[in-house]
Structure 1
């Protein structure tokens, strides 16, 4: 996958390069980043929704630049990696 044109790669590069996590208000666990790939038609080449961010204690006063996502409590797959390898490690999965 081409990291220059992939939605996930572009989002991750911007998130970390522009230090967007520092603009997140009400951070519950700073620097613990969640990546959510959802509402997908097929795979990374089809349409999908991608969120990258942190858990917050409240959605109050969030920056207009951000979207919110409520994740229901249930069992999910969890992938961990060395943060120095981002975004390449996610794109290669």
Structure 2
């Protein structure tokens, strides 16, 4: 179990659902738009090069609608009006290693998480942390999944 402080993020977001077929398409399109339209370079005050893919604003649980937010941790808001902002409150997290061939390793790990009924999920804000700041040139980043949990 890890305790994390509040995190401020800048990036893009989309509303989706894992079970109506929209999530895979919507999240894939979000990643594509983020890079093809150069949003990475538009975000100022980045804390580091690590990327966050956050799942939050859950309607109910992993079977309902939720918001997917893609971006970077920032020390202060960016002036760009085309960016969305998200603040993740300090919380307790259970972590999972999802490193490997992308995106399969992350998708497979989420399927394992969904199937594990023993997890005490809080459904506050869960996220994939892509550790680009630690990756070597041409190498896939390590990925950790942070799952908000009830204590």
Normalising by structure 2, we get a TM-score of: 0.46
Normalising by structure 1, we get a TM-score of: 0.68
Which structure 2 residues correspond to residues 1-93 of structure 1 after superposition, within 5 A?
6-30=25-49, 32-41=50-59, 42-43=61-62, 46-61=64-79, 63-79=80-96, 80-81=98-99, 85-86=102-103, 89-92=105-108, 93=110
Task: Flag the 1:52–1:36 CA change in 2: closer, same or farther, 3 A.
Answer: same
Distance in 1 (CA, whole Å) between partners of 2:38 and 2:57 is 26
Bigger fraction of residues in strand: 2
Superposition CA RMSD, Å: 2.9
Larger Rg: 2
Unaligned runs of 5+ in 1: none
Unaligned runs of 5+ in 2: 1-17, 111-151
Q: How many residues align?
A: 88
Task: Flag the 1:58–1:38 CA change in 2: closer, same or farther, 3 A.
Answer: same
